Amino acid sequence: MTLEKKIGYIFKDKTLITQIITLAHGRKAASYERLEFLGDRVLGLTIAELLYKQHPKESEGDLAKRFTALVREETLAILAHNLSLHENLKTNEPELRYNQSILADVLEALMGALYLDGGIKAAQNFIIPLYTDLINQKIQPPVDSKTMLQEWSLKHKLGLPVYNTIDRTGPDHAPHFKIEVKLPGYKGVTGEGSSKRHAEQAAAEQFLKKVSFDE
């Protein structure tokens, strides 16, 4: 199935489709990256407005937690996979089609392309139905491990956690990070992941498990 059929939109400027689905070698000159930059802003505005309207009694802090969970790489990658966007990507490296970071970026590029081709309405007509179920099912504001660790450390008057990159391996299109998180009076704890964000979350999660066990 073509990309246009999948999303229910016919592009006036067909060159935008090529930009979205073309993965350059090593992503060093990926044609979708400028569209991704734009799409990130379009997505952010759309989701922020949705949350503002659907949760009129929630504080800015709770809205921010919901927002972060909805626009994070992991969520975007799942939505991209559900749309089977990987089937339309053009690349000489097949493994790139299943790279979480790339799938997330391509989905944001698609949002940017829709905005350029049809305006904010075209982009929102795609984004809002895509996110409706996710927004409705999140009854309580989600809290990720980094936020939980920050709240715990401030509660114990330890200041903010410090994250340091210990190691980075793998090619540009499939990196692997090892991150250490430190707090005064505690030994550093490490976490690993396919991006700094993932590794930091993993480190924070391990740190929380450690202090929970110690206490």
Looking at domain 145-214, its CATH class is alpha beta
Give me 89's structure tokens: 């990507």
Q: What percent of the chain has pLDDT over 90?
A: 43
Amino acid at 33: E
Give 3-137's CATH code, choosing from 1.10.1520.10, 3.90.1200.10, 3.90.1150.10, 2.60.40.3080: 1.10.1520.10
**pLDDT score for 96:** 76
**pLDDT score for 212:** 66
At 41-71, the pLDDT tens digits run 999 999 999 999 988 988 898 888 889 889 9
Q: List the domain boundaries for the chain.
A: 3-137, 145-214
What region does 5 belong to: left with phi over 0, alpha with psi -120 to 50, or beta? alpha
Quick one: how many helices (H) and strands (E) in the chain?
8, 3
Active site residues: 40, 108
For the entire predicted model, the pTM comes to: 0.69
What is the widest separation between alpha-carbon atoms in the chain?
A: 61
User: How many C-beta neighbours within 10 Å does residue 162 have?
Assistant: 12
